[in-house]
Amino acid sequence: MREIGIGIIGGGYMGKAHSVAMSAVGAVFNTRLRPRLEMICATTDTSAEGYRKAYGFARATSDWRHLVADPKIEAVVIASPQETHRAIAEAAFALGKPVFCEKPLGATLEDSRAMVAAAQTSGCVNMVGFNYIRTPASQFARELVVSGEIGAVTWFRGEHTEDFDADGTKPASWRNFGAANGTMGDLAPHMINAALALIGPIARLSADIGTVFANRPGAKGREVNDDIGQFMCRFGNGAMGHLSFSRVATGRKMGYAYEITGTKGAIRFDQEDQNALWLYRADDPEGLRGFRKILTGPEHPDYLPFCQGPGHGTGYQDQIIIEARDFLQAIDTKTTIWPSFHDGMEVNRVIAAAHASALAGVWVDL
C-alpha cells in the first residue's frame, strides 16, 4: 500500500465525481495505491479554492500546466472541456505521467489521433472515462458475449437517449452550438463505445442526423447543432446493428440501453434499471424459455464488495469508483487498461464516419 498524488483538472460535475471516487476507492476496494488528493485545477483561483475545500484537496490552482508539472502530482485526471484534452494529455505524457481523460477523448478525430500517439510514445498508462459501460450488468453482458453464452451475435441495437433538451422553448446554451457539443459528440460516444466493446469493430454504416429544434430562443441566427441521430451498421463479424441517440427523447432520462441477439440467446439492458441484466437462453427446455431478470451481485464482475448480496444496488457514483480502481491498478501494475485512448479514438472515428455518411446520404466504410 502506498500513496499516489492525484491532480484533477476541472471541478464541475465530472471533477467532483472523480474527487469523490478518489476519496472512497481505497477503502472500498482495498487498493494497493491510495490516492492523495493533491491538487485541483479550475478556471479561476477562486473557484479552484472553492473546489479544494469542498472536495478535500491539499492545493488548488487555475493553471493546469502548473498542476501537470508539479512533482507531487503522479497521475492526472482530465475533467475539463474537450477542447483542452489534447494539450493537457500531451503535457502529462511528456512528463511520463499517467492520464485518465473524460470522454470524448479529443474534440476532433485529429486531436484524438495525436493523443493516442503521445500516449504510445510515452508508454504511460492512459484511460478514457466511459463510465456507463462499467456497471456490473454491462461488464457481465460483455462476459456473456465473449464466453459464447448467447452464440454468434446476429443483431445489436443500442441507444443513448435523454430528454434534457426535449423542451424546444428552452433557450439555447453552449451545448446547442458546435458539432462537438451536439448529440453525436455528447451522448453518442457512450453507446458507440458500448457497441465496440460488446460486439467488436464496425465495418460500415449509414447515418441520419438531424436537429428537431433548430430555432431555439436565443440562438440568434447561429446554427443549432444536432439533437437527434441514428445509424444502421454492419459489424466486422457480419452482424447487423442500429444505434440511435437523442437529447430530445421526451420521457427518457438515462436511456442508455441495448439489446444483443445471438444464435443461442439474447441480452437486454437499460441503464434506467442498471442493476438488472435480462438474459434469454435458447437451450432452456421449450415451455420454460423466457427472458430472465438477473439482479447483479457478487457473482458478477465489478460488484461493489461491501454489497453483500445481489440486488443491493450500485449507482452512478459507483461506476466512477470502479474507473478509479482500474486506473490505479493499471498504474500499479504498468498494464494496459480498457478503454484506452486507442479505444476512445475508435469512437471518434465512428462519429466522424457517421457525420460523413449523413452529409452525403451514403454508406461509409470504416
**Interface with its own copies, residue 312, by CB under 8 A:** yes
Closest CA to 340 of 103, 137, 16, 90: 103
Q: How far apart are CA 15 and CA 167, in angstroms?
A: 28
The residue within the footprint of its own copies, chosen from 121, 263, 333, 336 (CB under 8 A), is: 263
Site for its own copies contains 214 (CB under 8 A): no
Amino acid making up residue 294 = I
> What is the number of residues in the chain?
366
CA pair distance 149, 147, nearest whole angstrom: 6
The three-state secondary structure class of 337 is: coil
Question: What sections of 123-221 are H helices per DSSP?
Answer: 136-146, 183-186, 188-198
Q: Is there binding between residue 306 and its own copies (CB under 8 A)? A: yes
C-alpha closest to that of 314 among 258, 352, 271, 255: 271
Q: Which of residues 128-147 bind its own copies (CB under 8 A)?
A: 140
Q: Is 307 in the site for its own copies (CB under 8 A)?
A: yes
Selected from 96, 123, 148, 168, the binder of its own copies by CB under 8 A is 168
Considering the complex, state which of residue 117 and residue 259 has its C-beta at the smaller distance from its own copies.
259
Using the minimum distance from each CB to its own copies, give the nearer residue, 92 or 153: 153
Integer Cα distance of 247 and 133 in angstroms: 19
Minimum distance from CB of 21 to its own copies (Å)? 8
> Of 302, 258, 292, whose CA–CA distance to 143 is shortest?
302
Cα torsion through 14, 353, 272, 157, rounded to 10:
-160
Closest to 26 (Cα-Cα) out of 319, 273, 293, 324: 324
Residue 274 Cβ vs its own copies, minimum distance, rounded to whole Å: 5
Q: Which residues pair with 76 in a beta bridge?
A: 7, 99
Bridge partners of residue 268, in order along the sequence: 259, 278
How many residues bind to its own copies according to rule CB under 8 A?
A: 96
Please report whether residue 291 would count as binding its own copies according to CB under 8 A.
Answer: yes
Q: How far is the CB of 355 from its own copies (least distance, A)?
A: 15
Indicate whether 54 belongs to the interface with its own copies (CB under 8 A).
Answer: yes
The span of 41-49, 87-95, 185-193, 253-261 binding its own copies (CB under 8 A) equals 253-261
| Contact call for residue 16 and its own copies (CB under 8 A) | yes
Site string for its own copies, 183-202 (x = CB under 8 A): --------------------
Span near its own copies by CB under 8 A; candidates 76-84, 154-162, 183-191, 340-348: 154-162
Are residues 165 and 248 in contact, defined by beta-carbon separation less than 8 angstroms? yes
- Please, what is the angle between helix 136-146 and helix 188-198, to 10°? 30
Of 34 and 72, CB closest to its own copies: 34
| Minimum CB distance to its own copies, residue 22 (Å) | 9
Closest contact distance (angstroms) between CB of 241 and its own copies is 9
CA distances from 256 to 72, 199, 268 (A): 38, 16, 11
N-terminal to C-terminal alpha carbon distance within the chain:
44
356 is a site residue for its own copies (CB under 8 A): no
Asked whether the beta carbons of 274 and 314 are under 8 A apart, the reply is: yes
Residue range at the interface with its own copies (CB under 8 A); choices 69-77, 89-97, 171-179, 255-263:
255-263
The only residue of 249, 322, 331, 337 in contact with its own copies, by rule CB under 8 A: 249
Give the DSSP H or E segment for 346.
Answer: helix 341-360
Site residues for its own copies, 71-90, by CB under 8 A, read none
Residue 93 sits in the site that holds its own copies (CB under 8 A)? no
Among 78-86, 92-100, 171-179, 273-281, which window interacts with its own copies (CB under 8 A)? 273-281
- 315: contact with its own copies by CB under 8 A: yes
262 sits near its own copies (criterion: CB under 8 A) = yes
Instruction: Return d(Cα 305, Cα 308) in angstroms, integer.
Output: 7
Point out which span in 27-35, 62-70, 115-123, 179-187 binds its own copies (CB under 8 A).
Answer: 27-35
Residues 319-348 within binding reach of its own copies (CB under 8 A): none
